[in-house]
């Protein structure tokens, strides 16, 4: 297994904590949602 | 957006959407990141300049081509925000040239894309990751990796959920996907109303959350207004289950403690 972290913090968001990080997109919206 | 190629933004709309997300994060206890999708290098540079001060959220550099992502890496380094930036995405198609530029910029995080014709089944995605993709990330200094299992249509949601379970269990990496890509296809082809597409987006997000998704790409920021609270309810319920069963201790900011009690007052 490569040397990657199982849980990590990126900025203020914690990935792998048990609750999902919601990721929203900006500047590309092919459909009016 | 005023001009995708030049990266001209309606800053009033952007400010409003960022304020909405900030308020929702505080209200429900879920964390958030932004996928910055640019069509050109110029646009990517402008977006990152604006977002550096406009938000504290992590930023994923999601340019639509290599040239644009590379421009984003350089700009992130120049702006001093590489520590809160990731790449979306690194895949088997990513060139060594791009990996070298990512490393030079000091970016240490990426979403690894496993959507590939050679890796449809969950076990095949696992082998792709073990067979070299994670090694390439590690070699480029990408230590903070989350896995996008990919989703192309409604039935592939089942495979995506199974892949999230398998990758989480076998590799202990955060895994997730973008259910919105499938949920909005019938709206784009005018076979469904917007309200129906939105409810389906929420339903598909829920499937992935119950599979243990570490992240969910829910669509454009404006969708936060209907996605956040539904996701928080599901997260609160699963955290309650983890607490009762003793499998995991939810953190203090879990929607279980931060959001659900607000609904009973």
**What is the rounded CA–CA span in Å between residue B144 and residue B255?**
25
pLDDT band at residue B234 using 50, 70 and 90 as cut-offs: very high
pLDDT digits (tens, 9 = 90+) for B30-63: 999 999 999 999 999 999 999 999 999 999 999 8
**What is the rounded CA–CA span in Å between residue B7 and residue B30?**
29
With pLDDT > 70 as the criterion, what percentage of chain B qualifies?
Answer: 100
pLDDT digits (tens, 9 = 90+) for B140-159: 999 999 999 999 999 999 99
Mean pLDDT along residues B180-196 = 93
Nearest CA in chain B to A14: B31
Verify whether the Cβ–Cβ distance B216 to A20 is below 8 Å: yes
Verify whether the Cβ–Cβ distance A13 to B35 is below 8 Å: no
Q: Is the pLDDT of residue B128 over 50?
A: yes
What residues contact residue B103 under an 8 Å CB cut-off, 6+ apart? B140, B141
Three-state DSSP at B7 gives coil
Verify whether the Cβ–Cβ distance B251 to A12 is below 8 Å: no
Q: For B131, which DSSP code?
A: I
Nearest CB neighbour to A25, from listed B37, B83, B248: B37
pLDDT digits (tens, 9 = 90+) for A1-33: 445 677 999 999 999 999 999 999 998 766 544
> Which has more pLDDT, B4 or B141?
B141
Mean pLDDT along residues B75-79 = 98
Q: Which two tokens stand for residue B77?
A: 């380094």
Mean pLDDT along residues B247-256 = 94
B172: left (phi over 0), alpha (psi -120 to 50) or beta: left
Q: Which two tokens stand for residue B106?
A: 């000091």
Q: For B84, which DSSP code?
A: G
Q: Is the pLDDT of residue B247 over 60?
A: yes
Average per-residue pLDDT for chain B? 96
Per CB-CB distance under 8 Å, the chain B contacts of A13 are 31-33, 57-58
Those residues of chain A whose CB sits closer than 8 Å to some CB in chain B are: 1-8, 10-33
Q: What pTM was estimated for this model as a whole?
A: 0.96
Sign of CA dihedral B88, B92, B97, B101: positive
In this prediction, residue B7 carries a pLDDT of: 87
Nearest CA in chain A to B226: A33
Per CB-CB distance under 8 Å, the chain A contacts of B8 are none
Per CB-CB distance under 8 Å, the chain A contacts of B235 are 19-20
Q: Which two tokens stand for residue B212?
A: 């243990």
**What is the rounded CA–CA span in Å between residue B115 and residue A5?**
22
**What is the rounded CA–CA span in Å between residue B183 and residue B211?**
18
Q: Which two tokens stand for residue A12?
A: 């203020």
Q: CA angle A8-A14-A15, nearest 5°?
A: 65
User: Contact, A3 vs B13, CB < 8 A?
Assistant: no
In this prediction, residue A1 carries a pLDDT of: 45
Query: Taking the CA atoms of chain A, what radius of gyration do you get in angstroms?
Result: 14
């Amino acid at each position: 297994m490569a040397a990657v972290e199982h849980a990590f913090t990126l900025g203020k968001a914690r990935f792998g904590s048990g609750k999902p990080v919601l990721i929203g997109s900006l500047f590309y919206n092919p459909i009016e949602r | 957006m005023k001009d995708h190629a030049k990266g001209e933004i309606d800053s009033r709309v952007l400010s409003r959407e960022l304020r909405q997300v900030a308020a929702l994060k505080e209200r429900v206890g879920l964390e958030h990141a932004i996928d910055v999708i640019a069509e050109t290098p110029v646009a990517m540079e402008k977006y990152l300049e604006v977002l550096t001060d406009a938000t504290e959220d992590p930023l994923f550099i999601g340019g639509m081509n290599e040239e644009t992502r590379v421009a984003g890496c350089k700009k992130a380094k120049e702006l001093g925000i590489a520590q809160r930036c990731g790449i979306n995405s690194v895949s088997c198609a990513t060139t060594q040239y791009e990996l070298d530029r990512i490393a030079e910029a000091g970016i240490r995080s990426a979403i690894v894309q496993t959507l590939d014709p050679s890796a449809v089944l969950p076990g095949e995605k696992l082998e792709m990751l073990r067979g070299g993709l994670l090694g390439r990330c590690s070699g480029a200094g990408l230590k903070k990796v989350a896995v996008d299992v990919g989703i192309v249509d409604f039935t592939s949601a089942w495979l995506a959920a199974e892949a999230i379970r398998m990758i989480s269990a076998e590799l202990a990496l955060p895994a997730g996907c973008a259910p919105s890509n499938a949920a909005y296809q019938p709206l784009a082809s005018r076979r469904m109303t917007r309200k129906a597409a939105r409810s389906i987006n929420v339903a598909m997000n829920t499937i992935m959350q119950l599979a243990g998704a570490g992240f969910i790409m829910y669509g454009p920021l404006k969708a936060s207004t209907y996605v956040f609270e539904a996701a928080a309810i599901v997260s609160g319920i699963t955290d309650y289950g983890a607490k009762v069963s003793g499998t995991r201790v939810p953190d203090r900011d879990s929607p279980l403690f931060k959001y659900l009690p607000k609904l009973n007052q």
